[in-house]
């Protein structure tokens, strides 16, 4: 796809959302309130703030074109702090503020308990980053995941390990909904093929001393170590593994796909693989998006910026299709979505309201930054 056609495509998508200006539907006095549930405090705040920026940018662009059906979109932030109780409080507050829909969701463990709250209030929820398979069964029907699930990530991981000749692995997680789910799914898939998980560790979030884990891993001698949790703790583990003498392959789950990993881990992050949704810097279709993001926020977009932008655009599109802020009609419109053109790729849903394709890529740490890995075991371009 040429960049010229891509630029025109994004502009056309934004303009299409404003077609309601010509609608005969009566204008409503109040703005359409959309909640943005993301962590803006705590260790995962850099992700959450980036997601909130992208959601606001999408809303600003829609409003600049006249809004949706003549109404402006108003973004109401809800800080879940990547913590279940904080998320419950944030979700309850958003519902009490009368939001028409919610976009966001980063930490799966924080997103999980909010599903019932939004479900009971019949609030449509576009989940832009959280991808634990635990969310699927807990979904009351009004939540829609536009990031690929843990099942897709496990397949990506296993394909890479096999292509690299890995026979034995060690898996380390933090016991939360996201990292434990990814760890368990990986162990099951690996052992089903007759290969061995020689060490399986659950560590505490915020752990500073991984010496005991490093000792066990060196004794077990796995061909690869798979860290399934987030970058802040993962960076310390990387440093201590390399300092402790482990020289094998290291792979990280998508919760570690942050440039900050290199700031924290230093040279230890070079040569490390990471499974990731397609980020803006590796998407030709995100050139205009990136330029707009940098202009508005004076920094590069983060790993979940494109998905968050797409989530807001999708929510606005569903409101337009529904003919207004009727929640049940918006949910129906989301469920009927077919190949919605997002910056991060087309969006359609399975009957379980999950993304109907895998969007995972493999990144490789080189020269203090992430690069797109295209070698043996890398997913084929869609």
Residue of 291 and 19 predicted with greater confidence:
291
| Domain spans in the chain, listed from the N-terminal domain onward | 3-148+280-347, 151-276+361-372
Tens digits of per-residue pLDDT, 166-186?
Answer: 999 999 999 999 999 999 999
Looking at the DSSP bridge assignments, the partners of residue 76 are 35
The mean pLDDT value of the chain amounts to 92
| CATH 3.40.50.2300 at 151-276+361-372, yes or no | yes
3-class DSSP string for the chain: CCHHHHHHHHHHHHHHCCHHHHCCCCCCCCCEEEEEEECCCCCCHHHHHHHHHHHHHHHHHHHHCCCECCECEEEEEEECCCCHHHHHHHHHHHHHCCCCEEEECCCHHHHCCHHHHHHHCCCCEEECCCCCCHHHHHCCCCEEECCCCHHHHHHHHHHHHHHCCCCEEEEEECCCHHHHHHHHHHHHHHHHCCCEEEEEEECCCCCCCCHHHHHHHHHHCCCEEEECCCHHHHHHHHHHHHHCCCCCEEEECHHHCCCHHHHHHHHHHCCCEEEECCCHHHCHHHHHHHHHHHHHHCCCCCCCHHHHHHHHHHHHHHHHHHCCCCHHHHHHHHHCCCCEEECCEEECECCCCEECCCCCEEEEEECCEEEECCCCCCCCCC
pLDDT of residue 8: 40
Backbone angles phi, psi at 234, to 5 degrees: -60, -35
Spatial CB neighbours of 132, under 8 Å, sequence gap ≥ 6: 108, 109, 111, 112, 149, 150, 177, 178, 181, 182
Spatial CB neighbours of 251, under 8 Å, sequence gap ≥ 6: 157, 160, 161, 224, 225, 226, 227, 272, 273, 274, 275
Q: What is the mean pLDDT of residues 274-293?
A: 94
What is the distance between the alpha carbons of residues 281 and 305, in angstroms, rounded to a whole number?
A: 11
Beta-strand relationship, 101-104 and 32-38: parallel
pLDDT of residue 65: 97
Choose the weakest-confidence range: 49-53, 172-176, 216-220, 280-284.
Answer: 280-284
Tens digits of per-residue pLDDT, 104-126?
Answer: 999 999 999 999 999 999 999 99
Q: pLDDT at residue 226 above 80? A: yes
The Cβ-side half-sphere exposure at 234, using a 13 Å CA radius, reads 30
What is the distance between the alpha carbons of residues 244 and 151, in angstroms, rounded to a whole number?
A: 32
Cα 213 to chain centroid, rounded: 28
pLDDT of residue 7: 40
pLDDT of residue 9: 44
Tens digits of per-residue pLDDT, 204-223?
Answer: 999 999 999 999 999 999 99
Tens digits of per-residue pLDDT, 58-96?
Answer: 999 999 999 999 999 999 999 999 999 999 999 999 999
Reported pTM: 0.86
Q: pLDDT at residue 15 above 80? A: no
pLDDT of residue 278: 85
Residue 11 pLDDT class (50, 70, 90 cuts): very low
CATH of domain 3-148+280-347: 3.40.50.2300
Q: What is the mean pLDDT of residues 328-351?
A: 97
Q: Do 3-148+280-347 and 151-276+361-372 fold alike per CATH?
A: yes
């Amino acid at each position: 796809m040429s960049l010229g056609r891509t630029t025109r495509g994004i502009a056309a998508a934004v303009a299409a959302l404003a077609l309601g200006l010509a609608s005969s539907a009566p204008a409503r006095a109040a703005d359409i309130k959309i909640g943005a549930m993301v962590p803006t405090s705590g260790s995962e705040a850099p992700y959450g703030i980036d997601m909130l920026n992208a959601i606001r940018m999408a809303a600003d662009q829609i409003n600049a074109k006249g809004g949706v059906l003549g109404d402006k979109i108003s973004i109401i932030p809800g800080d879940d702090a990547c913590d279940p109780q904080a998320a419950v409080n944030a979700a309850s507050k958003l519902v009490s503020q009368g939001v028409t829909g919610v976009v966001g969701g980063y930490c799966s463990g924080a997103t999980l308990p909010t599903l019932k709250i939004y479900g009971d209030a019949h609030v449509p929820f576009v989940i832009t980053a959280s991808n634990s398979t635990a969310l699927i069964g807990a979904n009351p029907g009004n939540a829609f995941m536009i990031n690929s699930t843990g099942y897709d990530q496990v397949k990506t991981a296993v394909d890479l390990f096999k292509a690299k000749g890995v026979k034995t692995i060690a898996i380390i997680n933090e016991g939360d909904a996201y990292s434990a789910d990814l760890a368990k799914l990986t162990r099951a898939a690996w052992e089903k093929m007759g290969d061995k998980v020689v060490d399986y560790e659950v560590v505490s979030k915020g752990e500073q001393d991984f010496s005991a884990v490093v000792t066990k891993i060196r004794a077990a001698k796995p061909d690869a170590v798979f860290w399934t949790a987030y970058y802040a703790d993962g960076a310390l583990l990387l440093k201590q593994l390399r300092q402790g003498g482990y020289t094998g392959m290291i792979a990280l789950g998508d919760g570690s796909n942050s440039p900050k990993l290199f700031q924290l881990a230093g040279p230890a992050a070079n040569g490390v693989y990471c499974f990731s949704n397609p980020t803006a810097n590796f998407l030709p279709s995100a050139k205009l998006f990136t330029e707009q993001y940098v202009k508005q926020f004076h920094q590069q977009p983060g790993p979940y910026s494109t998905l968050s932008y797409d989530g807001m655009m999708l929510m606005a599109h569903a409101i337009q299709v529904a003919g207004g802020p009727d929640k049940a009609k918006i949910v129906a419109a989301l469920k009927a979505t077919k190949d919605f053109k997002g910056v991060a790729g087309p969006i359609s849903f399975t009957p379980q309201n999950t993304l109907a394709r895998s969007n995972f890529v493999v990144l490789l740490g080189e020269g203090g930054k992430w690069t797109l890995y295209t070698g043996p075991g890398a997913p084929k371009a869609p």
